[in-house]
Structure 1
Amino acid sequence: MNRFRHLTLALMGAMAFAPAAFAQDAASTYTASGKRFAVVGGYALTQPTKNPQIGGVRSDLDGDGAATLSASYYINDNIAIEAWGAADKFGHRVNSGGGKIGSVDSQPVALSGQYHFRGADSIVRPFVGLGYYQANYSGEKLLGGQRLGVENAKGGIATAGVDLNINPTWFARADVRYMQGSKSDVKLNGVKVGEAELNPITLGVGIGARF
């Protein structure tokens, strides 16, 4: 929760800074309208909303943070297609019975269509999106040397966020993403012992540029 609180404070700071910075460009003819590409580098925290059973035993996965990247193509000022993904792996500690029993890494990527509200030069621009994602799982380990395998998850992703224009090129972003995917087979030493349906939620902040 402390990590989520720190991201919220960072967003509040950006909101306080953006209006003054954007106002400096108000008298110029420089505009964000018509720019077709945007890239965003950021940091996101992820937390599974469901937890798997391993060998009939209920487990839970801790959340983690990782760097993220996105690239968007704007069909017009309001409609965009975004490719988004974790630039590094989220590392999840697997717990059961109050203690750690293993770990697994996840790295989601997604393609979404987005609608950005208000004009391109508005200081505050909310947006929503829907798309498709795949989460790749790797580095599965269980204490005691047993081999754990988790099948990759695929499904839908929903996004809601806000861009805060600093000037016609630079902007700050905050977003939340919910991924609802298929159940993934969980295997222990090559034998299926359960299913995982993690359906993670991510909260991210970043800095972007459009051109």
Structure 2
Amino acid sequence: MHKKIVVSAIAAIAALSAGLAHAESPWMVRARAVNLDWDNKNADNLQNAGVGDVSAKKRWIPEVDISYFFTPNIAAELVLTYPQDVDIQTSALGKIGKVQALPPSLLVQYHFTELGAFKPYVGLGVNYTIFTKKSFDTALGTVSVDRASFGFAAQVGADYKLDKNWSLNVDAKYIQMDTDVKLGGSKIGKLDLNPVTWGVGVGYRF
């Protein structure tokens, strides 16, 4: 009787172990090349400052995200990059300098899993951008921006599974991001950056 119980227990443990071995890991890492397409809308008219419209220059940046799947459908994604140089230019003076921005985002996603290897998703979350180099000198004086920006982020994307671990990824996000622009310490307007990001990359689930 005891032998049957031991054998049954060993069989149950073996079956459970096999099931865990074949279950997908809850962790996924993606690496993307992302184009930052700034909205560049000004909340205030900057013409009276003699610099014209202020805008940020579009650019490509690297991006890494770490995702944790609570269920096959629900995941949280932390989007990271290193501090990025953002060129600031004006319609009157051209490029007048640059600031550095660190824009991590945290999103909650819903993944659609009924389409086989093709797995689209949508996400909603927050962005917190830290401007680490906030000011620069121009012929008109010192131009500076606020220390940080906080806003919502929305996302659509899709993974295409190549095998158990690797996948291809496409991703688009809209991020609320704005900052006050100051000249010599006095506010001359607000720069509504609000970028749309378009990214392509690869994912690895482990």
Instruction: Please report how far the alpha carbon of residue 163 of structure 1 lies from its aligned counterpart in structure 2 after TM superposition.
Output: 0.5
| Deviations, residues 22-55 of structure 1 (Å, cap 9, x unaligned) | xxxxxxx9x9853200011121110111333553
Supply the distance in 2 between the matched residues of 1:111 and 1:130 (Cα, whole angstroms): 8
Q: What amino acid maps onto 1:133 in structure 2?
A: N
Out of 24, 32, 57, the residue aligned to residue 34 of structure 1 is 24
Work out which of the residue numbers 170, 173, 178 in structure 2 matches 1:174: 170
Q: Deviations over 1:93-141 (max 9, x none)?
A: 423237323333322111000011124x821111100000012224343
User: Is 1:148 matched with 2:143?
Assistant: yes
Partner SS for 1:167: coil
Aligned counterparts of 2:145 and 2:183: Cα–Cα separation in 1: 9
Residue segments in structure 1 that go unaligned for 5+ positions in a row: 1-28
Alignment root-mean-square deviation, CA: 2.6
Q: Report if the CA contact (8 A) 2:87-2:95 is conserved.
A: no
Partner of 2:10: none
Matches within 5 A, 1:1-211: 33-52=23-42, 54=46, 55=49, 57-97=52-92, 99-119=94-114, 122-139=116-133, 140-144=135-139, 146-151=141-146, 152-181=148-177, 183-211=178-206
1:172 CA drift (Å): 1.2
Give the fraction of aligned pairs with identical amino acids, expressed as a percent: 28
The normalised TM-score by structure 1 is: 0.76
What's the TM-score, normalizing by structure 2?
A: 0.77
Q: How many corresponding residue pairs? A: 181
* 2:139 partner SS: coil
Unaligned runs of 5+ in 2: 1-18
